A and B are shown apart, each in its own frame.
Chain A
């Protein structure tokens, strides 16, 4: 996971008033415009916003805002044992076997059936990945992502500088949001994209 410090300011400088902190969880590859609007609103209200994302490349619109930091998972999900096992069994394993067979058979007429098999295997693997594996995996993906993020959360120091508001903006981020909500009982934790104003949240705490 990479912690992209856009403006790298320390969370709280000594002698200054603490700005409220928001953890915005947005795991969809392309954030919904309402999520982007919420981030903007929270920044306008004077909050420090940490956006937890799978990738930050679709957030360029807000990249130059001060007090905004992105916390990206990067390729960690691809390296998860479940994904690696699926690739091994469904994609790379059969491909290696077939390419080995191809090498053994050499070139010419003998190799043709192997090439056909290889193309068929690619089609079947792709279809299986999309129609079977992803449909099942989608149900457990929030849990997988929550565990991956969880291991690295110490990097953003939620213990020393706890968040005042945690927003799980999509279905994939709910499990992480739910876990953080239990761990930080004083934070407002919601799936609403129209949460109370920061002033209201700070007044409550």
Chain B
């Protein structure tokens, strides 16, 4: 009997809690990684958060983003306990309803004893599901992305149970507080023990920038040779609405400038400095009647919005407008598929970021791809500066002083009015070196090197 067998594709289990339709800031890296692997011959199974978690706890989803996930990717959603987030008393079970303190103590004991993160139950469910699936069809490699870092623990446990090599992708730092630049946990905290064993056994660990990799390499020298940097990059498939710039008309040169912040604003960012500097810059004739449009979510959770609205000085306004009119407008969330239009309707982009040395922000790559002038509003020395360094339309005040930021805004406004198509093309050429495809290729190569050679070369049939 002549049985022809199709070559077996390498199989990867991707543990990514935040995966579309989640709109968490880290989801684009996960989406792009999974899509890239699927497009390059991998059989990808992604474990993600349950949809009920996104709807009930996070409070929002981006359905259009979910449509951009390669249909060949199998998405599983292991269950998670809502214990830490549940606020609806009717959702409490009998035990928790009658003994809330005992229930809480038992829950905290689990966190202390097993893994110090509320996502522990998702990790446990992921391990169980992964082992069942592995028993039927073997995975060749496991890739886990954090946060949540419970996914790292799950990858480690799967590795211990099956011997499958695993890679951890630090989208964020775990034991380093990137905003204070201090260790994130006190000595003796279980997070250190877990991180030590995970990095000891991981086949590779991935970081978003060189300063972060260096911090980890210094603390875990035995694992340093297995550490690599994969920057965030930008997604050309999500910026399809970006058009080539047309020469500015006279009307363009006289209309009020449009400054834009696009992304998720959060409490660690210098929000007040941004609002104050914009007020100051707006007094300059070139920026008369200029607008600062804020697109995206205010905070990661639905209850964070009010505080940021206050900090932006929009408290008295209705519908996100300030009263009296300060030119600052909150325009609400934008689907990733509408992002190109927002860039198209902007003159200057505001790069607002919290933290310093270890923070890159995924947004900066997309900002550069738009080819607009970019004004920095963040602490000096931020890791994103390494990426922006070759960008010709970058206006960096080098401080968080309101006057310096205002001056940079004015200079960026002038540049936006006078910009030639050549300057924009030059800017976009710099951004092209950071497409997601370009930055993910080395990771894919590293993952492929971990798979048995015959499978990687397609010489084993399925």
User: Which residues of A approach B to under 8 Å, CB–CB?
Assistant: 138-143, 166, 168, 171-172, 174-175, 177-179, 181-182, 185, 189-192, 194
Contact = CB atoms under 8 A, between A and B. Distances in A.
Nearest to B86: A191
Contacts of B105: 139
Please name the 7 residue pairs, one residue from A and one from B, whose CB atoms are nearest each other, closest first: A178-B97, A174-B100, A189-B89, A181-B89, A192-B87, A139-B102, A194-B303
B89 A141 contact: no
A168 B97 CA distance: 11
Given A189-B90, A194-B303, 10 more contacts: A139-B99, A139-B102, A143-B98, A143-B99, A168-B89, A174-B96, A175-B100, A178-B96, A185-B90, A189-B89
A104 to B, nearest CB: 44
A190 B56 CA distance: 13
B88 interface: yes
A178 B89 contact: yes
A175 B102 CA distance: 12
17 contacts: A142-B99, A142-B101, A143-B98, A143-B99, A166-B89, A171-B104, A174-B92, A175-B98, A178-B89, A178-B92, A179-B97, A181-B90, A182-B90, A189-B88, A191-B87, A191-B89, A192-B87
The contact size tier of chain B is 10 to 19
Main SS of chain A's interface residues? helix
A174 B97 contact: yes
A32 B98 CA distance: 23
Interface in B88-136: 88-90, 92, 96-102, 104-105
Contacts of A182: 90
Contacts, number: 54
A64 B24 CA distance: 44
Nearest to B303: A194
Interface string B290-307: 000000000000010010
A141 B104 CA distance: 14
Contacts of A172: 101
A141 B101 contact: yes
A146 B226 CA distance: 57
Interface string B202-224: 00000000000000000000000
A37 B22 CA distance: 32
Contacts of B97: 174-175, 178-179
A58 B435 CA distance: 59
Q: Tell which of A139, A141, A185 has the most Cβ of chain B within 10 Å.
A: A139
Nearest to A179: B97
Interface in B61-100: 87-90, 92, 96-100
A168 B91 CA distance: 14
A200 to B, nearest CB: 12
Nearest to A178: B97
A171 B87 contact: no
Nearest to A146: B98
A190 B99 contact: no
Contact of A174 (B89, B90, B303): B89
Contacts of B102: 139-140
A142 B104 CA distance: 13
A139 B103 CA distance: 9
Contacts of A178: 89-90, 92, 96-98, 100
Nearest to A166: B89
Contact of B99 (A140, A177, A181): A140
Contacts of A142: 98-101
Contacts of B99: 139-140, 142-143, 175
Given A141-B101, A175-B97, A178-B97, A190 B87 contact: yes
A182 to B, nearest CB: 7
A37 B98 CA distance: 27
Contacts of A143: 98-99
A171 B88 contact: no
A32 B346 CA distance: 45
Contact of A177 (B89, B101, B104, B306): B89
A139 B87 contact: no
A140 B102 CA distance: 8
Contacts of B101: 138-139, 141-142, 171-172
A24 B185 CA distance: 35
Contacts of A179: 97
Contacts of A166: 89
A172 to B, nearest CB: 8
A175 B98 CA distance: 5
Nearest to A192: B87
A171 B98 CA distance: 11
A120 to B, nearest CB: 32
B319 to A, nearest CB: 16
Given A140-B99, A174-B100, A190 B303 contact: no
Q: Tell which of B89, B92, B96, B100 has the most Cβ of chain A within 10 Å.
A: B89
Contacts of A185: 90
